[in-house]
Amino acid sequence: MSSLIVYMSLHGCAGKAAHRLAEMSWQKVDLVNLRNQAPPPIDSYDTVIVGGSVHMGQVQGKIRRFCADNEAKLLTKRLGLFLCHIYEGEEAVKQFNYAYSKNLRNHAVSKGLFGGEFNMEKMNIFERALIKKTAGLDGSISRINNKAIEDFGKVIFHLDKS
């Protein structure tokens, strides 16, 4: 069995989640950050995990394009979908549903909302000003949900003993 994690991480949150998931697997996992890597052909993978984070109100365009370009193939794989979003509850669910098509959401065996973070040190001046204005934050904040990441990994990698 082989696994692929395709993610997009600009400031590190989705990357942290992707790497944590890869560490959980007992099998080889290929990690591809669409920020600086081309998406690979997914034919040879049994399991595919796709994840991103919300920027300017939506998941990154490269994640949307990867899903759209590969939807038919993704529907033949063991699929996991995750999203990093600083907000929780209904707003996070709304963003998840907007990020991934209904077909992919219905097919996914594991779906995760992993929380999020604002890492001001990695943001440009425009991003920092926007976060300060919209979220009222002057400094970095992390709300990564490690339990959600672990629960997702247990399901997607068949690690749950139940």
In a domain, 138, yes or no: yes
Summarised one tens digit per residue, pLDDT across range 36-56 is: 999 999 999 999 999 998 765
In a domain, 60, yes or no: yes
CATH assignment at residue 9:
3.40.50.360
In a domain, 162, yes or no: no
Q: How many CB atoms lie within 10 A of CB 43?
A: 9
Summarised one tens digit per residue, pLDDT across range 106-151 is: 999 999 999 776 665 766 666 666 656 666 667 666 678 889 999 9
At residue 5, the 3 state secondary structure works out as strand
In a domain, 74, yes or no: yes
Question: Residue 37 gets which letter from DSSP?
Answer: S
C-alpha span between 78 and 45 (Å, rounded): 9
Q: Is the pLDDT of residue 162 over 60?
A: no
C-alpha span between 112 and 121 (Å, rounded): 26
Number of domains in the chain: 1
**Residues forming beta bridges with residue 112, ordered by sequence position:** 82
Q: Is the pLDDT of residue 152 over 70?
A: yes
In a domain, 123, yes or no: yes
pLDDT > 70: what percent of the chain?
78
Q: Which domain holds residue 85?
A: 3-156
In a domain, 110, yes or no: yes
Q: How many CB atoms lie within 10 A of CB 147?
A: 9
Whole-model pTM: value is: 0.84
In a domain, 161, yes or no: no
